[in-house]
Amino acid sequence: MAPMHEPARQAPQPSADQTRRFVHTVTQAEHGQRIDAALALMLDGYSRVFLRKVVQDGGARVDGVRVKPSFRLQTGQQIEVDLPPPPDDGPRPEAIPLNFLYEDEHLVAVDKPPGMVVHPAKGNWSGTLASALAHHFAQLSDVGGPTRPGIIHRLDRDTSGVILVAKTNRIHLAMSEMFEQRRVQKEYFAIALGNLELDSDIIRMPIGPHPYQRDKMAIRRDHPQSREAETQYQVDERFDGITTVRVFPRTGRTHQIRVHLDHIGAPVLCDRLYAGHSQITRGELFRRIARRQPPESQDDQVVLDRHALHARRLTFVHPVTQRELTIESPLPADMQCVLDILRARDAAGPKRT
């Protein structure tokens, strides 16, 4: 089925001087409410979806501390929220090419390239997947709010691979429930630093906000905002100091795979937040895996400039047809280039498990 199109619409252009501060003391009637739900009742003209995003992005503080949307309020606490203007329309359509892996009258699966932000946010008002979708389709679900047309789940900016989009609200709600109930099987492929001791294992460690760095997550066993997280992995190939792994997250926490692999001593290659570097050259890659220093070790060509994590496969039962679907995304060129170098330089030959 060919994608539909619609004329371009104008997206809102928020600016810093339009932001306003909202201050409120929690009443007894509001005690125990989630902050995103409470704010939606307090503030006219702002949807709960929009306010949840504001809180998620760090725009809300309770007694001076940034909180998450699920934070439960207590009587007497002081809320401060920095409110950008609410969007009055969806994202501006942009003629950005997309690779469609699957499409029917209900669902679309997109092969998201690395570097593409999923939906508009501060600092990323254009070039997003949402803007591309607004160009390719005349109608998508609006369950996620005007800035997230059809988008059922998300991937980090630098994670490539399969992402699902709903054309109708019915499908959006059904698929969201399936994700929540863990009835969608997710498989990722990662290139990790380190030599994993086990060929396969399950990592069960709770994840919460990092104690010092706002943009990071961490293993937090006793933090009130921590949530259980479970990741299964299976080693695919072993090289000297680098391992490729198939990863099967059973929960969907922020940065889950990246945090869990880092926790077991195998951070994702080129992960700026958790591996401490954001790119690698051909020469640096040779130096990591070669016991001697070949001529190629001086090559300063950058072969990867984002974290080596790819959403390879989704398997689920279609909510309407009741048929099992498996949607796959091929490994992108940058990660394939790294693999080619690893395999070529591994004198003993990769050991596949």
55, 69 Cβ separation under 8 angstroms: yes
- Amino acid, single-letter form, for residue 345: R
Q: Describe the crossing of helices 48-56 and 35-42 by its angle, rounded to 10 degrees.
A: 130
**Dist CA 303 CA 279 (whole Å):** 8
Q: What are the distances in angstroms from CA 20 to CA 80, 117, 120?
A: 10, 26, 20
44 is annotated as an active-site residue:
no
**Dist CA 293 CA 215 (whole Å):** 37
**Dist CA 252 CA 27 (whole Å):** 33
- Residue 255 token pair: 């940065």
Q: Please report the beta strands in the chain, taking only residues with DSSP state E, as ranges in sequence order.
A: 20-25, 60-62, 65-66, 78-83, 100-103, 107-112, 160-166, 185-193, 200-204, 207-209, 217-219, 230-238, 242-249, 280-281, 302-304, 309-317, 324-328, 351-352
Q: Give me the half-sphere count of Cα atoms (radius 13 Å) on the Cβ side of residue 37.
A: 10
Angle at the Cα of 117 from the Cα atoms of 230 and 176, rounded to 5 degrees: 45
What sign for the dihedral angle of Cα 121, 124, 125, 130? negative
**Dist CA 294 CA 105 (whole Å):** 54
**Dist CA 230 CA 248 (whole Å):** 9
- Catalytic one of 156, 158, 236, 334: 156
- Residue 319 token pair: 């909510």
Burial 147-185 (b: 16+ CB within 10 A, else e): bbbbbbbbbbebbbbbbbbbbbeebbebbbeebeeeebe
Question: What residues are labeled active site?
Answer: 156
